[in-house]
Amino acid sequence: MTDVELQIFYEDLVSQLRAQGALCAITSGLACVHFDIAETTKDCDLLCHPTAFRQLLDLLEATQVEGQACRYRGNLSPPLDDRWHRGGWTSHFQWGEGVEAVTLDVFGRALRGTEPWENELSGLYVSPAIVAEMKRTNRDKDWPFITLLGEWLIETGDARGWLHLFEADALRRLLPRHPCPAGIIARRPALRLALDRDARVEAALFAERQFWVQLDRLRVRVYERALRPYVVAVRRAQIAAGTPLHGQHEIRLRCAAETLRPSPLVEYGLERYVEEARRATAELVQPELLQWLPDVSPHFNYLKT
């Protein structure tokens, strides 16, 4: 399938779900393509409200791609069930094999999102503000898109875009033309440096980005450790090739109930988690820059509900 055909395929999945009353929206890379800040992607990340998980599973089982049935991807994917998604887990599906595989990652919660994603829809897609928050990962390729999403928001009158600019040049270019509200500045101290034309702004933005990178690296390590017993259990279950998706799902549910901790980051301790990421950041930047780091606790409220 071409990139355009893939985009149409994913959009059609969402349209079919919406027609059934399901609440879902496309996020991440494909959303960046939709908002004209990325050229192409072959993957799709989908936000799906837990009340629609069963509808999504039914649709995935009924949908083939070039004669290939949908299945869970490998042994690593947790089941599509809110007992685990509310704790920050995600589920992974695919059609086909290798580089030609069509893949779908499903989120029941918008990781790092500060607002309910259900209230932030833009057609079949989630809003750029949610996409920008979800893209605060340890992958270098994500960060240019965050700034571009921030610019998109500011240019369309959404002041939240100031929270997503991680390039000093973008701040310098936009500040003379667009107001930056006091409430936004309070949420992101580094913006005060930009408004004061303080030469430290570039270093402060770098420190803030490193903080987010360390947060994501630590999150990945926590979840990878928690995942190991589940991976062993799924491997031992020896799910037969050709098992329908619902059959795969039931086996994974049993394995998860026995081995997969529902909310590893909460068990680890959110305050401990943030403090360890802060200390890791302090090893990479000058200590004085830590005063400009934002309060990230609102980005993890989804784990507390």
Q: What is the pLDDT of residue 4?
A: 87
Count: domains in the chain: 1
Tell me the whole-structure pTM to 2 decimals.
0.95
Question: Could you report the per-residue pLDDT of 121-142, keeping only the tens digit for each?
Answer: 999 999 999 999 999 999 999 9
Report the share of the chain in percent with pLDDT over 90.
93
Residue 91 lies in a domain: yes
Domain interval for residue 88? 3-122
Residue 144 lies in a domain: no
Confidence of residue 305 (pLDDT cuts 50, 70, 90): low
Residue 97 has pLDDT above 80, yes or no: yes
Residue 183 lies in a domain: no
Residue 104 lies in a domain: yes
Question: Could you report the per-residue pLDDT of 165-218, keeping only the tens digit for each?
Answer: 999 999 999 999 999 999 999 999 999 999 999 999 999 999 999 999 999 999
Confidence of residue 40 (pLDDT cuts 50, 70, 90): confident
Distance CA 228, CA 269 (A): 20
Average pLDDT, the chain: 95
Report the share of the chain in percent with pLDDT over 70.
100
Distance CA 43, CA 26 (A): 11
Q: What is the pLDDT of residue 42?
A: 80
Residue with tokens 């779900």: 17
Residue 168 lies in a domain: no
Residue 273 lies in a domain: no
CB atoms within 10 A of CB 280: 16
The enclosing domain of 63 has a CATH number of 3.30.460
Residue 110 has pLDDT above 70, yes or no: yes
Residue 157 has pLDDT above 80, yes or no: yes
Max CA separation in the chain (angstroms): 63
b/e per residue 51-75 (b: at least 16 CB within 10 A): ebbebbbebbbebebeeebbbbbeb
Question: Could you report the per-residue pLDDT of 252-301, keeping only the tens digit for each?
Answer: 999 999 999 999 999 999 999 999 999 999 999 999 999 999 999 999 99
Residue 10 lies in a domain: yes
Residue 82 lies in a domain: yes
Q: What is the pLDDT of residue 232?
A: 97
